[in-house]
Amino acid sequence: MKELILKLYALGVIKFGSFEIKKDFLSPFQVDLTRVISYPQVAKEICNALWEKAVHLSSDLICGVPLAGSYFANYIAWEQELPLVACHEGEVEGIYKTGQKCLVLQGALLSGTHTLDTIEMLEDGGIEVRDVLSFLDLGFGAKKKIKTRGYVSHTVIGMSEILQILFDANKLGGDKYKLATDFLENV
């Protein structure tokens, strides 16, 4: 995992500075997983890490949360020959039966809003959702929000682990590391 995180940092997927995540909410870091679509080998590594967790979860279908989650869900579905559904403009696209279980994939958990919107569309279409799997939990409270709604949230890695990896590899200075870890403790 360390090598993958270092690649993501080198590619500018993980950045440090001051970023407006939502209105009036500034973060000392940003992770944009949509950038990995231009780096197929790195995207494949993320998908493999997701699949290592997904293989232990029971589901009939897979659906990604736009945007990055959709990219990863497509790759995993095709690679593992799993039925894929997609939520688009309030509709569920693809072939499915009422009552089938769907694993929802997310790139990075931020607020949880997009994830819960996707789940709502799936459930409105008669699809059951129990598990949400994300590559990264940014630590902004989405995991708790998802759990509060009755779903189980699984993640490959958390932002605090990423910070530690980058700090240990001398990619993140002490001041930025402290700023980011303090931020996560107070979110």
At 182 the pLDDT is: 97
The pLDDT of residue 187 is 85
Question: pLDDT at position 29, please?
Answer: 97
Predicted local distance difference test score (pLDDT) of residue 25: 84
SS3 of residue 90 by DSSP: coil
* pLDDT score of 23: 78
pLDDT value, residue 102: 99
Residues 32, 17: contact at Cβ < 8 Å?
Answer: no
Q: What is the pLDDT of residue 115?
A: 97
In percent, the amount of the chain with pLDDT more than 90 equals 95
Beta bridge partners of 14: 31
Domains parsed from the chain with CATH numbers = 2-181 (3.40.50.2020)
Phi, psi of 150 (to 5 degrees): 100, 10
Tell me, what's the pLDDT at 21? 83
CA distance 8 to 12: 6
pTM for this model (two decimals):
0.94
DSSP 8-class letter at 66: T
pLDDT along the chain (187 residues), means of 10: 98 96 88 96 98 97 96 97 95 97 97 96 98 97 96 98 98 96 94
